[in-house]
């Protein structure tokens, strides 16, 4: 089962993610270094539901994601 934690998104925006736009995702178990390396965040453009499906297809081995603002 794939999960998408939206706590950080909801804190930043005051609402649950929905609609169309650029979405930023990070593997939930990612450990942040002092400086963010290139490619640490996966950006997907489109409808939120479609973005999650695209991400799941691109990285089937990652089951837990954090939705960023």
pLDDT digits (tens, 9 = 90+) for 20-30: 999 999 988 87
Cβ burial of 51 (10 Å; 0-12, 13-18, 19+) is: buried
Rounded Cα gap, residues 8 and 23, in angstroms: 13
Note the pLDDT of residue 37: 64
Rounded Cα gap, residues 55 and 49, in angstroms: 10
- What is the count of structural domains for the chain? 1
* Percent residues over pLDDT 90 in the chain: 68
Domain range for 50 is: 3-68
Note the pLDDT of residue 29: 81
Model-level pTM?
0.83
pLDDT band at 36 (very low <50, low <70, confident <90, very high): low
Note the pLDDT of residue 33: 66
């Amino acid at each position: 089962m794939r999960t998408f934690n939206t706590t950080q998104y909801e804190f930043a925006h005051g609402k649950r993610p929905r609609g169309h736009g650029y979405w930023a995702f990070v593997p939930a178990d990612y450990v942040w270094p002092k400086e963010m390396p290139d490619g640490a965040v996966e950006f997907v453009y489109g409808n939120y539901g479609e973005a999650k499906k695209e991400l799941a297809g691109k990285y089937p081995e990652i089951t837990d994601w954090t939705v960023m603002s």
